[in-house]
Structure 1
Amino acid sequence: MDLVLDACDRFVLTPYLYPASFEPTDWRRQLLSLVLITTITAYVTYFLYGTLNYFFIFDQSLMQHPKFLKNQVRLEIQYTCWSIPFVATPTAAVFLLEVRGYSKLYYGVGGAYGWLFILFSTFTFVMFTDCLIYWIHRGLHSKLVYKHVHKQHHKWIVPTPFASYSLHPIDTFLQGVPYHIYPFLFPLNKLLYLTLFLFVNLWAVSIHDGNYCVPDLLKAYINGSAHHTDHHLYYNFNYGQFFTLWDHIGGSFKSPSAFEGEGPGDAVKRLLAVKDN
């Protein structure tokens, strides 16, 4: 994140926002800047990914499903816009620790951290976060936590891409913790970290888009939109983020109803056929 902060300092913050006496290395300035950057980035990625997905990938016929709420898209967006600043502040505090040198993030490719290590880091990052998010997500469904934190997200029984971050701020932050923990435990290239950050945001949108385009060969292993749609429909299944591995291990795997002709899209088709007749 220091790469982004340095660029913002050089081209925007120093000449236009802060007085010259407010040093770029001052932790208070860095924290304020990171809150601003994190908030703006969250809004931009949410609306960019969400809008493109909504118009070009999302199956909009799902909006005719009986469980699709009135004005749901607007409600999803409104709740997300309210939630983002509350998530951005603690997230920026974590980024501050990274900027101040407490993480194991590194720059460049060479020595022990060559291209092979880049590939290894990508694999371990995805597997590490997939495991932790599964157990965090499952914990959010516990009786003590669900109604206070996670229930809001399940208001969207048939979600759209705009539901991807329409969660309680505590919910969003907790599910983001594994991504923040990794670079404090393991070396990770800074540019790779930013790339994975964008990928994670894109993935969160994609599993809410109702587009079940996982190749047949990978359907048993990838936790795609079909799997996550059933999570919204049936609550206690398919907690995974990227893969189905931990759902199989934890006994919470459910074969997606969409793969069996019983998904929300199939229900809409039957409903429209009845209306036509």
Structure 2
Amino acid sequence: MTSVFDRPLSDVFLIISGTTLLRYLLFAGFAYVAVWIVLRSRLLHRRIQKSFPKAKHLRREIGYSLLTVLIFASVGVGMHMAQKAGYTLMYSDFHEYGWGYFFFSLAALILLHDAYFYWAHRLMHHPKIFARVHLVHHKSTDPSPWAALAFHPFEAVLEAGILPMAVMLFPLHVYTLLAFLGFMMFLNVLGHLGFELYPKGFTKNPLTGWNNTATHHNMHHRYFNYNYGLYFNWWDRIMGTNHPKYHETFERITTTPLIGSAKTSSIEVAEEGA
């Protein structure tokens, strides 16, 4: 059986671009169809912003996301070449490090990426960079699930940079990378969902409040200068960059249970100033 590391570059590019595209379409497509179309009328009371983006904005999000897929695949080819040259610590034999290390390395990669993303995101908001690069993503002031990968090409390279760095820092199994990419896409789509699915009190509960929410990231798209975190909330807490009305807004949106009365569908979302 041919090892993943022994395939030609053309095969590697096709495999990575194909699996990345499939992952994007499955996660973003399912979220859009399920929440924005099928369950839309039943979940309007959990809509974070009352309006919906026009079709041209959705097309822009999809277009940039497809470009990102190609860029991610190109970075993957670079990682493959680095592996062949002996510059990475990727491995394909589970017995080499065992199952315990597999799960430990997955958790470590998630924590590393959360820190990497926060500070890279702060960099993207530097005045000299924002208008030239990050504005592409922020044109979605009310994002849809399709915005999950809608980046400027330079930002897409920066986003993908976590993986080449990680595989040179500590050993990572190929399946660890796949599990991480699935986790990343799931929470990325959830952050751009535009509807809040978590229950009231979630952000203030010490057992769950360290997780970010759709409300958290939607407020970042709306107000720009707060809520930079990705998976977890602790970097925003440490650096004082949570929006001052984040918890208040979350509680207002989640006043009615997830499957609530259609009469609550016009719930008002407060106009907080940045």
Matched residue type, 1:93: G
Residue 92 of structure 2, aligned match among 96, 102, 107:
107
Cα 1:257/1:145, change in 2 over 3 Å: farther
Q: Distance in 2 between matches of 1:109 and 1:87?
A: 25
Corresponding position of 1:72: 57
Residue 145 of structure 1, aligned match among 129, 136, 140:
129
Could you tell me whether the CA contact under 8 Å between 1:31 and 1:93 is conserved in 2?
Answer: no
Moved over 3 A (4+): 2-6, 57-67, 108-111
The 3-state SS of whatever aligns with 1:243 is: coil
What is the TM-score when the length of structure 2 is the normalising length? 0.78
Residue 253 of structure 1, aligned match among 235, 242, 246:
242
User: Which runs of no fewer than 5 residues in structure 2 stay unpaired?
Assistant: 257-263, 269-274
Shift of 1:256: 4.7
Q: Distance in 2 between matches of 1:173 and 1:63?
A: 30
Q: 5 Å matches for 1:1-277?
A: 3-4=3-4, 30-58=8-36, 60=40, 61=44, 65-66=50-51, 68-110=53-95, 113-214=97-198, 216=202, 217=205, 218-254=207-243, 255-256=246-247, 258-261=249-252, 269-270=266-267
Q: Distance in 2 between matches of 1:142 and 1:268?
A: 37
Shift of 1:3: 5.0
Shift of 1:98: 2.7
Cα 1:241/1:95, change in 2 over 3 Å: farther
Could you tell me whether the CA contact under 8 Å between 1:230 and 1:256 is conserved in 2?
Answer: no
Based on CA coordinates, which of the two structures has the bigger radius of gyration? Answer: 1
Shift of 1:85: 2.5
Shift of 1:160: 0.7
Q: Distance in 2 between matches of 1:190 and 1:70?
A: 37
- The alignment's C-alpha RMSD in Å is 2.9
Q: Distance in 2 between matches of 1:243 and 1:52?
A: 23
The one-character-per-residue Cα deviations of 1:125-151 (angstroms, maximum 9, x if unpaired) are 111111111100110000111111100
Could you tell me whether the CA contact under 8 Å between 2:253 and 2:267 is conserved in 1?
Answer: no
Cα 1:256/1:98, change in 2 over 3 Å: farther
Q: Distance in 2 between matches of 1:74 and 1:48?
A: 17
Could you tell me whether the CA contact under 8 Å between 2:117 and 2:159 is conserved in 1?
Answer: yes
Q: Distance in 1 between matches of 2:148 and 2:235?
A: 21
What is the TM-score when the length of structure 1 is the normalising length? 0.77
Could you tell me whether the CA contact under 8 Å between 1:34 and 1:96 is conserved in 2?
Answer: no
Could you tell me whether the CA contact under 8 Å between 1:214 and 1:222 is conserved in 2?
Answer: no
Moved more, 228-237 or 30-39: 30-39
Q: Distance in 1 between matches of 2:265 and 2:55?
A: 16
User: Which runs of no fewer than 5 residues in structure 1 stay unpaired?
Assistant: 7-23, 25-29, 272-277
Could you tell me whether the CA contact under 8 Å between 1:150 and 1:167 is conserved in 2?
Answer: yes
Could you tell me whether the CA contact under 8 Å between 1:125 and 1:182 is conserved in 2?
Answer: yes
Q: Distance in 1 between matches of 2:247 and 2:61?
A: 24
Q: Distance in 1 between matches of 2:55 and 2:185?
A: 26
Could you tell me whether the CA contact under 8 Å between 2:12 and 2:77 is conserved in 1?
Answer: yes
Q: Which has the higher contact order (CA 8 A, sep 6+)?
A: 2
Could you tell me whether the CA contact under 8 Å between 1:76 and 1:162 is conserved in 2?
Answer: yes
The 3-state SS of whatever aligns with 1:156 is: coil
Matched residue type, 2:22: V
Matched residue type, 1:235: F
Could you tell me whether the CA contact under 8 Å between 1:212 and 1:226 is conserved in 2?
Answer: yes
Q: How many residues were matched structurally?
A: 245
Corresponding position of 1:19: none
Cα 1:3/1:181, change in 2 over 3 Å: farther
Matched residue type, 1:103: T
The alignment-based identity, stated in percent, is 28
